Amino acid sequence: MDIQKIRLDFPILSRKVNGNQLIYFDNAATTQKPRQVTDAITDYYNNHNANVHRAVHTLSMEATEAYEESREKISNFISARNLSEIVFVRGTTEAINLVAYSWGLSNLNKDDEVLLSLMEHHSNIVPWEIIRKHKGFTINYAKIKQDATLDFEDFESKLSKKTKIVCLNHVSNITGTINDVKRLAKVAHENGSIVLVDGAQAVPHMKIDVQELDVDFYAFSGHKMLGPTGIGVLYGKKELLENMPPFQGGGEMIKEVSYNKNKCEVSWSELPGKFEAGTPNICGVIGLGAAIEYLKGIGMEEVYEHEKELTEYTVKHMKECDKIKLYGTNDLSKRCGIIPFGVRDISAHDVALLCDNYGIMIRSGYHCAQPLHEILKLKSSARASFYIYNTREEVDRFIEVLKAFN
């Protein structure tokens, strides 16, 4: 990877914050956008702006072609079997809610169980807790070890014939821990359970093949992988999606609405239209398609190796700081480029503010994963997270600032 060449594609990286060169280490929250993505969005609005699927005029046909080309790019990117398994949503959160409300409300009953883990993002906890109140099923939570890795034995012990669905993240947004999704899916399927994976922190950083993983649902967001905000993807096995009711009603998702004897008879569109009600985020889809082309041009293996090397380098030098406490497993081969940490006698919030004084953007707080913080006995944590445009020189400056806290 030619990092300096890549950095030229990101205009924001040239700006200064508080008189210092911007260093952006908050990539787990959202990534910056290259010119190729913003140019694709601008081109759509300037030259092809029209609604999709609904007209025969030139602009609509052009917009529809670009929209569906992005669906094909995404399908190929994660190795889905066919295009009908790619559903556009607002992000990972909406994708999980779609499964919870559409599949969950239709298939879960009082005697059933759902298995989650205690390292989940709130978006993979809250929807299930909400519909539990409607349906009365039981939610079990697999334990987390003190090194913030999944307790696989506890996970396996909590699988039962009552467990209808297993929901877990591929990569923790707190510690960067990589879960062995293929192994977990195999065990779940042998138990007769289906599997939903939160891939928000995985798809941007490593090569994903949903067929090889053999998961039933896989959710991810565009804005964490160079794309725009407000666009995401739910992959679902076709046979499951076909048997699920729509999540939202309106235009686009219907095949026919006919009025007869004082009522309307409604039939649904074929997949994936059944789950894409209303005017979609057309520019977001096109922007995500451009982001995927950009990442493919680099190569996901290269992305992963770059982040791995940068994480190892950063952890090594953070350990030189006496006041720094690192959280998560010491086995860096099981982690992505996310480093949670604390500074003795300084709150995570103040650490983030102090870093900001030097133009360094990091995250602080619970990061929408309060249960994991409670398990680790943390009130909060600071978090540095990397992406393709981050450099060793930026890490050196970050370490220099951290050492000044000593």
Centroid of chain to Cα 265 = 37
Report the candidate in 154, 130, 240 with the shortest Cα–Cα distance to residue 193: 240
The Cα–Cα gap between 151 and 195 comes to 17
Q: Check whether the bond before 272 is cis (ω within 30° of 0).
A: yes
User: Nearest Cα to 40, choosing from 203, 226, 206, 201?
Assistant: 226
Residue the block writes with tokens 């997949």: 271
* CA atoms of 121 and 288, how far apart (whole Å): 23
Query: Rounded to whole angstroms, how far apart are CA atoms 199 and 208?
Result: 9
Residue 286's identity, in one-letter code, is: I
Asked if 242 and 85 touch (Cβ cutoff 8 Å), the reply is no
Query: What's the one-letter identity of residue 311?
Result: T
Is 368 considered catalytic here?
A: yes
CB atoms within 10 A of CB 361: 16
Residues 246, 87: contact at Cβ < 8 Å?
Answer: no
* Cα–Cα distance measured from residue 400 to residue 321, given in angstroms and rounded to the nearest whole number: 10
Best CA proximity match to 335, nearest among 173, 155, 121: 173
Nearest to 44 by CA among 263, 217, 231, 235: 231
Q: Looking at 167, 336, 355, 368, which residue is catalytic?
A: 368
What is the length of the chain?
406
Give the chain's largest Cα–Cα span.
Answer: 78
**Contacts with 58 (C-beta within 8 Å, 6 or more apart), sequence order:** none
Q: Catalytic residue positions?
A: 368
